[in-house]
Structure 1
């Protein structure tokens, strides 16, 4: 037979419970030692935001702004989204110089990041472009009155009767299957997310007027070297149209279509993107574009490798003359943001 002894109450349990209560009470009543202060952070303290209203001077790549940067008294720099902002003084104005990077996406992204960070009085773009107007030459500096994004397009369906775009938002004719469309932009002071179809974005009228006043005040460069010169003396052309798109153009037939369709003096890969962002943020904008080549309009190889630096220096010379003529009180201040 298996004998099972019944369980008995543990004789030590009351004593154990009493000990736990006493220990907890003692801990609650014992004064606590203040924790040691944390060691100072190794992270740098953020610098105070610079609230000085500035003229922003932008170029797509380094060769376009070397002359401008060399002429600027730079007081400090900072890197934002891998773009170096150079703060300083140029021709009596507080300025910030930076590169947009090539093409439309980089230009738009860089411009908006700039406006979100720096109080900007106005945006001045300086660089080179392809010449479209058959009356202009390499080295000439263009200052278009408006800019359009000409390569936002519908690729049309091909039918026995020709290319038939399924939708049209402009009256511009197509180049083969490619039909330009109006850019969709946000309308300010309208319901959120509403859109407006708009192709042309005007530059600031005051800035354009100042650009007109400096024509004929200086002579633009015509020689790269003593034995490598243009056949003509470059000139400044203010007004007219400019177009931008993400494509480097070196094709005579396409160039002729751009002239016929848009009457554009110049085409580039950034200006209309900057113009759009400036428009959306209500910031004055103007672009100075010197012709480095004729976008395929000559039988010789593309001229940009030969005359690109000359064109960039001509553009910079006009920008500095523009700043000389720009009143110190022009563009009252940065937009509210």
Structure 2
């Protein structure tokens, strides 16, 4: 039977047409693992040798895979989702029927690389998902030498995010760098949970201090975080409500007064979770079991000096049970910093924690957060943020 090579857009058009015939929807395409085996030649004459491909060096659509045994026999080790898919026309309909049955399974089972991902999960899973934000935080992990990369598959690239596979103290750990702010953080954690066998999320990073008793180098382990970047901007001279409100006129300088920006109400988030009705929440709780485990670190002694030249004024401490604030805002304003502390009793401000905790709650996966103070969010501190 003749075969046709479909581009992804052409394949989708075929699928849409087939959906109309079969009367079904919500179809996903499952691409099998790539193989380094040689295809059989057609017709008479000499067989042409086809050069084996290193699938990790091709330009992939979404996914790549890093392996430890590079240079050895690569069959079954390198997987690649490229820009073209070779299918018989009948196979399009077959895929529709097959994938309709599988559509209720997790992404991990319907992913183009489900074979290698299942291998990762079965060989060393379940895992702790370690979530960080940007390269400086990853560098601290690497320098600690606690993380030991896998001897088989080093990393998997999922939608541009490299998930590193390995262990810490013999426990399976997959760590990923989300990028900054809530959208990146939430999407990355969801991909991590959909793809791997994750039993818990641990998130660490830096934060600004909105509490005058927290200094640079101190570590906060909050028991609640909130997303404080969701507002209702009220009309000028509108009636007050029983919500926490910020009146811009109270911050006029040199005297308080009216302001055409009026005020903002801080609004709760809609939390959707497995087996529960949607609920509106403002404070997102940290999993109590993980919080209790984290509290056992209270006797850990933190370094006061980086070297002989750079030292903190005080020995840093680990503080438990405070509250954290998340917004897509880099806070460098003393007045708003003071407002957050007085209105919400918030001790740290960052751009990702609430998104990570909320995604974990939605999936029923426990989560813990550690935030180290790196600046004073606009207040003149005891030590320059640099």
TM score, norm. by length of structure 2: 0.63
CA contact (8 A) 1:158 1:164 kept: no
Q: Tell me how far apart the structure 2 counterparts of residues 122 and 299 of structure 1 sit (CA, whole Å).
A: 35
1:111 and 2:194 correspond: no
CA contact (8 A) 2:247 2:264 kept: yes
The superposition leaves residues 34-89 of structure 1 with CA deviations (integer Å, 9 ceiling, x where unpaired) of x949x999776555222211011111101012122342111111111111111001
The superposition leaves residues 137-172 of structure 1 with CA deviations (integer Å, 9 ceiling, x where unpaired) of 11100000011101111111112xxx547xx6x732
Report the Cα offset of residue 186 of structure 1.
1.7
Query: What is the root-mean-square deviation in Å for CA atoms of aligned residues?
Result: 2.5
Match of 1:67?
140
Q: Secondary structure at the match of 2:315?
A: coil
Q: Tell me how far apart the structure 2 counterparts of residues 187 and 54 of structure 1 sit (CA, whole Å).
A: 21
Q: Tell me how far apart the structure 1 counterparts of residues 323 and 232 of structure 2 sit (CA, whole Å).
A: 22
CA contact (8 A) 1:172 1:180 kept: yes
Distance 1:175 1:80, change over 3 A: farther
Q: Tell me how far apart the structure 2 counterparts of residues 69 and 80 of structure 1 sit (CA, whole Å).
A: 21
Q: Secondary structure at the match of 1:94?
A: strand
CA contact (8 A) 2:273 2:364 kept: no
Report the Cα offset of residue 299 of structure 1.
6.5
Q: Tell me how far apart the structure 1 counterparts of residues 134 and 239 of structure 2 sit (CA, whole Å).
A: 39
Q: Tell me how far apart the structure 2 counterparts of residues 299 and 230 of structure 1 sit (CA, whole Å).
A: 12
Distance 1:222 1:164, change over 3 A: farther
Match of 2:265?
179
1:98 and 2:176 correspond: yes
Structure number, greater radius of gyration: 1
Residue ranges of structure 1 left out of the alignment (5+ in a row): 1-34, 307-337
Q: Secondary structure at the match of 2:335?
A: helix
Q: Which has the higher contact order (CA 8 A, sep 6+)?
A: 1
Q: Once structures 1 and 2 are overlaid, which stretch shifts more, 123-132 or 227-236?
A: 227-236
Q: Write out aligned runs for 1:115-134 (5 A).
A: 115-134=193-212
The superposition leaves residues 201-231 of structure 1 with CA deviations (integer Å, 9 ceiling, x where unpaired) of 1111111111112212x32122244223211
Match of 1:196?
279
Report the Cα offset of residue 200 of structure 1.
1.1
Q: Tell me how far apart the structure 2 counterparts of residues 213 and 271 of structure 1 sit (CA, whole Å).
A: 21
Match of 1:288?
370
Report the Cα offset of residue 91 of structure 1.
2.0
Report the Cα offset of residue 265 of structure 1.
1.5
Q: Tell me how far apart the structure 2 counterparts of residues 58 and 187 of structure 1 sit (CA, whole Å).
A: 20
Distance 1:117 1:145, change over 3 A: same
Q: Secondary structure at the match of 1:69?
A: helix
Match of 2:343?
261
1:149 and 2:227 correspond: yes
Match of 2:325?
243
Q: Tell me how far apart the structure 2 counterparts of residues 148 and 229 of structure 1 sit (CA, whole Å).
A: 32
CA contact (8 A) 2:222 2:369 kept: yes
The superposition leaves residues 102-143 of structure 1 with CA deviations (integer Å, 9 ceiling, x where unpaired) of 001100111111111011111101110001111111110000
TM score, norm. by length of structure 1: 0.71
Match of 2:100?
none
CA contact (8 A) 1:130 1:266 kept: yes
Match of 1:221?
303
CA contact (8 A) 2:207 2:350 kept: yes
CA contact (8 A) 1:69 1:97 kept: no
Match of 1:278?
360
How many residue pairs get aligned? The number is 260
Match of 1:56?
129
Q: Tell me how far apart the structure 2 counterparts of residues 148 and 270 of structure 1 sit (CA, whole Å).
A: 10
